[in-house]
Chains A and B, each alone.
Chain A
Amino acid sequence: MEKKYGVYICKGCSIADTVDTEKLAEVATKEHQIPVCKSHDALCSPSGLDLIKGDISGEGVNTVIVAACSPRAKHREFIFPGCIVERANIREFVAWTQEPGTEDTQALAEDYMRLGITKAKNSFPPEPFLLEETNKDVLVIGGGITGMTSALGAADAGYKVILVEKSGELGGWAAKMHKQLPQSYPFEALEENTVKRTIDKVSSHSNIKVYTSAEIEKIAGFPGQYDVSIKTNGTSEQAKAGSVILAAGWRPYDANKLDHLGYGKNPNVITNVQMEEIASSGRITRPSDGKEAKRVAFIQCAGSRDAAHLPYCSSYCCLTSLKQAAYVREKNPNAMAYVLYKDMRTPGQYELFYKSIQNDPGIMLTKGEVTGVSETQNGNLFIDLKDTLLGENIRIEADMVVLATGMEPNTKIDADVLKEWKVKFDEKLKESGGKPDPNAPLEPHKVPNVLKLEYRQGPELPGLEEAYGFADSNYICFQYETRRTGIFAAGSVRQPMHMLGSMEDALGASMKAIQCVEATEKGYSIHPRAWDQTYPEVNLQKCTSCKRCTEECPFGAIEEDAKGTPFHKMTRCRRCGTCLGSCPERVINFKDFSINMISSMFKSMDVPEEGLRLIGLACENDAYPALDALAMNRDRVNPAFRFVPVRCLGNLNLAWIADALSRGIDGMILLGCKFGENYQCHFVRGSELASERLGKLQETLGRLMLEPERVKLVQLSIQDYDKLPEILNDFSEEVGEMEPNPFKEF
């Protein structure tokens, strides 16, 4: 498209009281020779918008630069279909944060005009990346309650589903339950197990193809076109899918490790899983002699909430033991159940179930710490407790003890398996001439387990450092934010949860799986840049195969050939632009966001011989809104800074720093999200990578004979706006104390 530019300056919201808008217009008309440049008292008003629309239809303007409020304000008003629109934020960044009428303020507004025009010059309309064919089928891994619910969810919405279950039948742990917890108000009576009905629905659903006794052999490809190999009955079957739900479920914590609670020593110490089997088979009998167990003690947190075993709470065990205590009473009204707990955790309306159990005089609930389980002379068991509510140590005699063992996700790789693989990896590395680091642990997602992805970045979902092997999201408000686009975890493989919670979670994952294939088909990114139709375009002729982009891509979207040339698997891409930042050759760019764009913007700024000129790169989700918030409060902001939004601080390309500083810019502050544990970057390591790249800055700046302290990275959340003025002033002072940038003269 041949661009025809129009610049529109708003005079409202104190802009005209703060800057000389006529002089501002000259930046457009004289410096940049923009043919159409108009101002209006309130551009967002109907007459202001008509002014722009008139030029679009009448003058053929197709590239609009709106010098007015923040792009976060009046978003819908300034969308003109078919046009490129750039916003120069002279309201929040100038009129509302600067002293009116000063030279500095005018210079600032003029620079924002230059930045806006230059950005528009380097911006092009998106041409979405479209697959020739998008497969929209959903692959569900795991045929337990979560997998089945996910499968039905997608199938009932009209999508084909492939369900792969490793055991011989569907149903998972849930099918083995004698009865299930109440799932609706009044949350009192146990319900008959409905899993059988769910199995029937899944088996007979015309949209669902079930594979049992089957395992994933490999998953190659990308969202919209996954090639799946399924190993079943000794053969390998091929299938295609568009997205994947990981519902591989959980396994009970190995009770053999709980010998301190008598497991393995006494046959009458069993797990809650065994208890379901016993209850299903009829009377509650004990393993040693088949006699009816009339006094059954439940030990809670058997392995859970225990630093020596599972440090976390497995969430389902309190409710399960209460349910099993009800079995004991239901089967024999004269039998007694004891539930020995640390904290009774029955959140929400399940409290009502707890209450109904408390009202049963045959169930004794006691808070306490179990200190030991021992055998009595007549083959029964003693359970010793301390820290009880009665204030004294107590001893309970029972016929049988049920350990409420916790859950481990099937995505967890045991430490010994991990060690074996580490040896294999190190050997492989040696063969290829590398030097293995004996202290570097092998990341668990590098070990093939459930998904077996053919991804350069490893076969499994990368987990969070402290999620204990669960495939959890790092975000509270985005529970399905995944590091492998198109692959969504659900149920107990994601977080420990009970059946009702798993069923709800299963539907959420189905929604995301469907949404992913729909977005993929139309060339949109998925969350968080769901509106984005641009994608990274690589000029491979200039690529040196340095592999930085493949290594740094947080979503595993880049593969490479034998020579190390990178290939984006575009539908895995989330458009964060980390690859753009990583590339030393500047060959990765987006239509509306490029290395050259930002460099040109920096170069377009006016750099006077006197006075500081500083650039602030701001993460557009957090730091930029924080800057806007300062404006809402009419706080003063240091006028030396020009702020430029980036998709993520991971976009930082060292070329930008070199270009800015060699242009005479005195310094650059980088405002990005918190990194490390509990990181807040939605592109995983954006600001952390920027920080690592700064490690190489010395080299860049050394060539220019400039101090590395001219560039500073600050971790800032959206709420830290109050800290900003001081952060900026301090940086400005630090840079001000250095010699002026010698490149100013050039």
Chain B
Amino acid sequence: MSEHESNIVVIGGGISGLTTATEAAEAGYTVTVLEKDPFLGGRVGRMNKYFPKLCPPVCGLEINYRRVKFNPRISYYTMADVEKISGNAGNYEVSVKLRPRHVNDKCTGCNACTEACPVEVPNEYNAGLNKRKAAYITTEQAFPFQYVIDKAACTGDCGTKCREACKYDAVDMEMQPQSLKIKAGSIVLATGWKPYDAKKIDNLGFGRYRNVITNVMMERLASKNGPTGGQITRPSDGKEAKRVAFVQCAGSRDENHLAFCSAVCCLASLKQATYVREQYPDSEAYFFYIDIRTPGTSYERFLNKIKEDDKVRMIKGKVAKVSEDPATGDVIVEVEDIFAGGKSRVAVDLCVLATGMEPTISELRLPSDIKINENGFAVIGKDQKGIYAVGCVKDPVDVAKSVQGATGAALKAIQTVGRLA
């Protein structure tokens, strides 16, 4: 058991958590970031571009990683599970279990373990669209650039190939979980979200038809370091996806699924329509929506710009059913077209479900005075001092709003800790 003290503990190392951590640390406070994955960066690290600028998220992450690297006041732990939070404002104790990475700090990132590893498993980083080794790193820009061995996937049949391949004595299959206790004045919850399980939306065919994918999968498909090297092709046969349907509110604004609006999906789909249009000049995108929600200045401008492209067809209507033409693998989208009237059927190569965001904060063991509402978001009472929620822990928000909230939460956290001498 090791013990450690820091002014603030941030749970989650995605864009919200990184923002809170760096903003507080740059004001002089010590911060510990706990990330459950082997790498920082969270969901934004997996995105191809940000709306509406269409700039790469790794650009901002690179700056944030540099802020982390060169700030001695920030510590971070990956593969960290929070087991318990106890104490009160100004005086918390966070118990953490660090899962074994099976690769220690001596790792140079040379890739020899991956080359030696004979095991392949579905790559969850790419939403299962390709495979990875049991010894792996996610992308060229992963941070920390330290490999990890997925022991659950490792069959052990190969003997110790990865260990033998490593010249730096970095592979340690006997590495044990470690316990860690962190004392902190304030805690910021930044555990983020996961895509809503699209299999639960029965009529939209996800899981039954291979060419029905989610918006999160689409980001990986369009990414250069994704499963197809950035080629937007359909999973069933690798054919170029030139006719693509975007089904909005797939689960969101639906009391049987997510009662709230996930706030990002309209813009995400519009952005993804640009991926398709840019890659294939002869492509067509269909955008089926209830309301187009692009609030503010730059988002509305983005919408207007896309509207100028007559190959992006915007159709107001709720998608009633998605099916498959078994002969071709095409996806048939049936929609009640509200303006044109009646039902229309559109056959496409690929159907992207704009699945919403489901908060993951309920997976964390929280002190009893923090409640989770029926939608899965944390409800932090107005009197709550010392624990703050940011990003999608509190409300479905996009990156810009996450950053605003995360910066503000850094202020609340430093208020709790008090002005440094």
Residues of A within 8 A of B (CB): 12-14, 41-42, 44-46, 69, 72-76, 153-154, 156-159, 184-186, 305, 311-313, 315, 343-352, 355, 387, 389, 391, 466-468, 470, 472, 475-480, 495-497, 501, 504-512, 514-515, 518-519, 524, 526-528, 530-531, 621-622, 625, 628-629, 632-634, 674, 678, 680, 682, 717-719, 721-722
Complex Cα gap A722–B140 (Å): 12
Chain B residue at smallest Cβ distance from A490: B404
B67 at the interface (CB under 8 A from A): yes
Within 8 Å by CB of A507, from B71, B110, B412, lies B412
For residue B207, CB closer than 8 A to chain A, the reply is: no
Is B127 positioned at the interface, with any CB of A under 8 Å from its CB?
no
Assess whether B300 is in contact with A305, with CB atoms less than 8 Å apart: yes
CB-based contact B338/A348 at 8 Å: no
Q: Is the CB of A313 within 8 A of B300?
A: yes
Q: What are the residues of chain A within 8 A of B221 when measuring CB–CB?
A: none
Known: A75-B70, A305-B300, A518-B28. A717 touches B415 (CB 8 A): no
Q: In the complex the two chains form, is B71's CB within 8 Å of A531's CB?
A: yes
CA distance A349 to B395 in the complex (A): 6
Q: Is B153 an interface residue (CB 8 A)?
A: no
In Å, the complex CA distance between A44 and B405 comes to: 38
B275 CB within 8 Å of chain A: no
Query: How many positions in chain B have a CB within 8 Å of any CB in the partner chain?
Result: 88
B408–A508 touching, CB < 8 Å: yes
Residue of B nearest to A45 (CB): B106
In the complex, 17 of the A-B residue pairs with CB atoms within 8 angstroms, ordered by the A residue number, are A12-B168, A44-B108, A157-B415, A305-B300, A343-B293, A345-B295, A346-B261, A349-B260, A352-B259, A472-B298, A479-B407, A511-B414, A512-B23, A515-B23, A528-B63, A632-B109, A718-B56
A184 and B379 form a contact (CB under 8 A) = yes
Chain A residues, CB < 8 A from B299: 313
Contact B415 A311 (CB under 8 A): no
Name which residue of chain B comes closest to A468, CB basis.
Answer: B297
> Closest approach, in angstroms, between the C-beta of B317 and any C-beta of chain A?
10
- Say yes or no: A504 contacts B415, CB within 8 Å: no
Stretch at the interface among B47-55, B91-99, B209-217: B47-55
Contact across chains for B339 and A387 when beta carbons are under 8 A apart: yes
Q: Mark B195-221, 1 if CB is under 8 A from A, else 0.
A: 000000000000000000000000000
| Contact partner, B27, options A46, A72, A515, A628, Cβ 8 Å | A515
Most buried by A among B58, B261, B373, B374: B261
Contacts A186-B373, A476-B55 hold; do A345 and B293 have CB atoms under 8 A apart? yes
Counting CB contacts under 8 A, is B118 at the interface?
no
B309 within 8 A of A: no
B224 adjacent to A719 (CB under 8 Å): yes
Distance to closest chain A CB from B376 (angstroms): 11
Q: Verify B375–A349 contact, CB threshold 8 A.
A: yes
Interchain residue pairs A-B with the least CB separation, the first 10: A507-B408, A477-B60, A158-B419, A508-B407, A531-B70, A632-B140, A629-B140, A347-B263, A719-B56, A511-B411
Chain A interface helix/strand/loop/mixed: loop
Return chain A residues, CB-CB under 8 Å to B253. 351
Decide: B26 and A530 in contact? CB cutoff 8 A.
Answer: yes
Decide: A518 and B59 in contact? CB cutoff 8 A.
no
Chain B 170-181 per-residue mask, 1 if CB under 8 angstroms from chain A, else 0: 000000000000
B306 within 8 Å of A by Cβ?
Answer: no
When distances are taken between beta carbons in the complex, the residues of chain A under 8 Å from B27 are 511, 514-515, 518-519
Least distance between A238 CB and chain B CB atoms (Å): 26
Query: Closest residue of chain A to B67, judged by CB?
Result: A530
Contact present for B58 and A476 (CB under 8 Å): no
CB distance from A242 to the nearest CB of B (A): 13
Whether, in the assembled complex, B228 has its beta carbon less than 8 Å from a beta carbon of chain A, the answer is: no
| A14 x B110 contact (CB < 8 A) | yes
Q: Does A348 contact B263, Cβ atoms closer than 8 Å?
A: yes
Q: Which of A14, A185, A518 contacts B377 (CB 8 A)?
A: A185
12 additional A-B residue pairs with CB within 8 Å, beyond A76-B69, A509-B407, A512-B407: A12-B110, A45-B106, A45-B169, A69-B108, A184-B379, A313-B297, A346-B261, A476-B399, A511-B411, A524-B26, A628-B140, A721-B224
Q: Which residues of B sit under 8 angstroms from A313, Cβ to Cβ?
A: 294-297, 299-300
Kindly identify, within residues 389 to 416 of chain B, every residue whose CB is under 8 Å from any CB belonging to chain A: 395-397, 399-401, 403-412, 414-415
Q: Name which residue of chain B comes closest to A512, CB basis.
A: B407
Alpha-carbon separation in the docked complex, A158 to B27 (Å)? 13
In the bound complex, CA of A621 to CA of B59 (Å):
7
Residues in chain A near residue B339, CB distance under 8 A: 387, 391
Whether A721 contacts B140 by the Cβ 8 Å rule is yes
Closest to B59 in A: A718
Q: Which of A514, A524, A682 has the most CB atoms of chain B within a 10 A radius of its CB?
A: A514
Over the window 108-126 of chain B, the binary record of Cβ atoms lying under 8 Å from chain A Cβ atoms (1 yes, 0 no) is: 1111000000000000000
**Closest CB in chain A relative to B56 CB, distance in Å:** 4
Distance A682 CA – B230 CA, assembled complex (angstroms): 26
Residues of B within 8 A of A41 (CB): 167
Closest A residue to B405 by CB, please name it.
A504
Enumerate chain B residues within 8 angstroms of A674, measured Cβ to Cβ.
55
* Contact partners of B400 in chain A: CB under 8 A: 476, 479
Question: Smallest CB-CB separation from A46: which chain B residue?
Answer: B106
Residues of chain A within 8 A of B414, CB atoms compared: 157, 511, 514
Q: For the complex, is B154 an interface residue (Cβ under 8 Å from A)?
A: no
Expressed in whole angstroms, the Cα–Cα distance for A629 and B109 within the complex equals 12
Q: Which of A74, A76, A504, A511 has the most CB of B within 10 A?
A: A511
Chain A residue at minimum C-beta to C-beta distance from B373: A185
A477 to B403, Cβ gap below 8 A?
Answer: yes
Distance A477 CA – B259 CA, assembled complex (angstroms): 28
CA distance A692 to B167 in the complex (A): 49
Q: Chain B residues near A495 (CB, 8 Å)?
A: 296-297
What's the Cα separation between A344 and B261 when bound, in Å? 11
Q: How many angstroms from the CA of A527 to the CA of B67 in the assembled complex?
A: 9
B19, B50, B140, B230 interface centre (most CB from chain A within 10 Å): B140
Are B261 and A348 in contact, with the CB atoms below 8 A? yes
Contact partner, A496, options B19, B64, B296, Cβ 8 Å:
B296
State whether B301 touches A312 (Cβ < 8 A). yes
The distance from the CB of B220 to the nearest CB of chain A, in whole angstroms, is 14
Chain A residues within an 8 Å CB radius of B60: 475-478
Bound-state CA distance A472–B301 (Å) is 14
Chain B residues with CB under 8 Å of A478's CB are 60, 63, 403
Contact pattern, B 338-368, Cβ under 8 Å of A = 1, otherwise 0: 1101000000000000000000000000000
How far is it, in angstroms, between the C-alpha of A271 and the C-alpha of B397 when the chains are bound? 29
**Complex CA distance for A256 and B54, rounded to whole angstroms:** 37
Cα separation A311 to B410 with both chains bound (whole Å):
34
Measured CB to CB, the nearest residue on chain A to B409 is: A507
Complex Cα–Cα for A380 and B411 (A):
51
A721 to B399, CA, bound (A): 24
B418 part of interface (Cβ distance < 8 Å): yes
Interface string of B11-54 (1 = CB under 8 A from A): 00001000100111011100000000000000010001010011
Q: Shortest Cβ distance from A362 into chain B, in angstroms?
A: 22
Which residues in chain B, 111-149, are within 8 Å of chain A measured between CB atoms? 111, 140-141, 145
Residues of B close to A14: CB separation below 8 A:
110
Q: Is residue B292 contacting chain A, with contact meaning CB distance below 8 A? A: yes
A159 to B28, CA, bound (A): 15
| CB contact between B62 and one of A311, A315, A514, A622 (< 8 Å): that residue | A622
Q: Determine the chain B residues whose CB is within 8 A of the CB of A349 once the complex forms.
A: 260, 375, 377, 395-396
**Min C-beta distance of A393 to chain B, whole Å:** 13
B70 nearest CB neighbor, chain A only: A531
Q: A313-B300, A476-B400 are in contact. Are A508 and B418 (CB under 8 A)?
A: no
What residue in chain A is nearest B372 (Cβ atoms)? A185
Chain A residues with Cβ below 8 Å from B374 are 186
Is the beta-carbon distance between A13 and B59 smaller than 8 angstroms?
Answer: no
User: Is A511 a contact of B298 with CB atoms below 8 Å?
Assistant: no
A506 and B26 contacting across the interface, CB-CB below 8 Å: no
| B383 proximal to A (CB < 8 A) | no
B160 within 8 A of A: no
In the complex, what residues of B have CB within 8 A of residue A387's CB?
A: 339
Q: When A157-B419, A477-B15, A680-B59 are in contact, do A511 and B297 touch as well, CB less than 8 Å?
A: no
- The answer to whether B64 and A477 have CB atoms under 8 Å apart is yes
